[in-house]
Amino acid sequence: MGLTENLMKVLPDGKVLDVRIGLHWTAVIVEVEGRRQCGLASTVTEEHQHGREPDVPEAGHLLDLSAKELAEFALSERLTKTSLGMATLNALLPDPAEKDLVDINAEDVITQYGAGKSVALIGSFPFIPRIKDKVGKLTILEKNPHDGELPAEMSQEVLPNAEVVAITSMTLVNHSFEDVFKMCSPEAVKLLLGPTTPLHPVAFDYGASLLAGSVITDPDAVLRFLEQGANFRQIHHAGIRLVTMTSPALK
């Protein structure tokens, strides 16, 4: 059973209060036992084609679903629905204990564990220019590679030899998470990063060493920025706290 399916088992149900699908990010607001909670995920869409089936057939009726029904979209093969499901799942997950959170972002975690070591990064992130001279050997795997990056198809060659692997949580949206983790060396430090990251210890059972994700501190501000096309840097400053959870096996 995959990580997403196992996370579904720990979710409470609730009422869907709001759904926003922005240019870059999707947010869902739910109410659980009288408490308003917000979850975030990357917005992923298929290539636009006129006349094809809609990305979200249930659009216009999402607030009629229960929160758990909307979270089940995370298992969909339609990418936009999966984004919606992951945002709902993150909204429903119980808050991690404060003692389990450290206010450190993924960039600093990678440089901390990657100093003098071979680091593989799945996904292109804006902090890459800042970390490339702070780690040993840095290899970037990307679906649509640019200069200095390798195609994602080379993962099988690169990942088994990397001592530190940083994996975008977009792999949960495109359903490649389990396949990617299986390619990594069991001894490697494996970091799941990005706002889509579910902050729950179940992920450690799948080989993750660290979870670098987000806690939304000002949902209204995040929604306002998100629906106006803000990128992550903008919504981060609007009301998001960057945190990291560490597996007990790594401590």
Q: How far apart are the first and last CA of the chain?
A: 27
- The pTM assigned to this predicted structure is 0.94
Rg (CA), the chain: 18
Structure tokens at 151: 């195609």
Residues 6+ positions from 156 with CB-CB distance below 8 Å: 183
What are the sequence ranges of the domains in the chain? Answer: 3-92, 98-216+239-246
Distances (CA, A) of 146 to 72, 124, 133: 34, 9, 19
In a 13 Å sphere around the CA of 70, the CA atoms on its Cβ side amount to 33
Contact of 241 with 214, CB cutoff 8 Å: yes
Structure tokens at 226: 């998100």
pLDDT at 136 over 80: yes
**Which residue(s) pair with 242 in the sheet?**
214
CA gap 39, 104 in Å, rounded:
19
Give pLDDT tens digits for 159-196.
999 999 999 999 999 999 999 999 999 999 999 999 99
- Length of the chain measured in residues: 251
Task: Grade residue 48 by pLDDT with cuts at 50, 70 and 90.
Answer: low
Give pLDDT tens digits for 59-95.
999 999 999 999 999 999 999 999 999 999 999 999 8
pLDDT cut 70: percent of the chain above it: 98
CA gap 234, 47 in Å, rounded:
25
Which of these CATH numbers, 2.40.10.220, 3.40.50.150, 3.40.50.11590, 3.40.190.10, describes 98-216+239-246?
Answer: 3.40.50.11590
Of 13-22, 52-61, 134-143, 152-161, give the lowest mean pLDDT range.
Answer: 52-61
Select the more confidently predicted residue: 69 or 144: 69
Contact of 181 with 26, CB cutoff 8 Å: no
Task: Grade residue 51 by pLDDT with cuts at 50, 70 and 90.
Answer: low
**Which residue(s) pair with 130 in the sheet?**
none
Write the CATH number of the domain with boundaries 3-92: 3.30.390.100
Distances (CA, A) of 152 to 75, 145, 146, 181, 235: 22, 8, 12, 14, 28
